[in-house]
């Protein structure tokens, strides 16, 4: 019974660690996942990214999800 509890706690701790690291990787632009057009000029996205990583979003390192995202993001109103 004790072994099952320890195993469960290790699983939960691992899951939390992976989710935190994955969140930081996404917002830092390290992940290969593309950024969606709605987040290119989003103040909300920038504030969440800054609070998670402690850094401003560097859009020169991000890859648009679709070929027209770069054009579309430049056309969005601030």
DSSP label at 33?
S
Quick: pLDDT tens for 59-77. Answer: 666 665 665 555 555 565 5
pLDDT of residue 74: 59
Model pLDDT, residue 67: 56
Q: How many domains does the chain have?
A: 1
42 is in which domain, residue-wise?
2-75
Whether pTM > 0.85 for this model: the answer is no
Q: Please, is 27 exposed, middle or buried when counting C-beta atoms within 10 Å of its C-beta (0-12, 13-18, 19+)?
A: buried
What is the reported pLDDT for 55?
77
**pLDDT per residue as tens digits for the range 6-52:** 999 999 999 999 998 888 877 766 544 566 666 666 777 778 778 87
């Amino acid at each position: 019974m004790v072994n099952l509890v320890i195993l469960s706690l290790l699983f939960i701790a691992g899951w939390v660690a992976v989710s935190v690291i994955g969140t930081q990787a996404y917002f830092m632009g390290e992940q290969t996942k593309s950024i969606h057009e709605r987040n290119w000029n989003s103040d909300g996205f920038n504030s969440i990214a800054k609070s998670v990583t402690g850094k401003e979003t560097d859009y020169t390192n991000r890859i648009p999800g679709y070929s027209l995202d770069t054009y579309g993001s430049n056309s969005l109103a601030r």
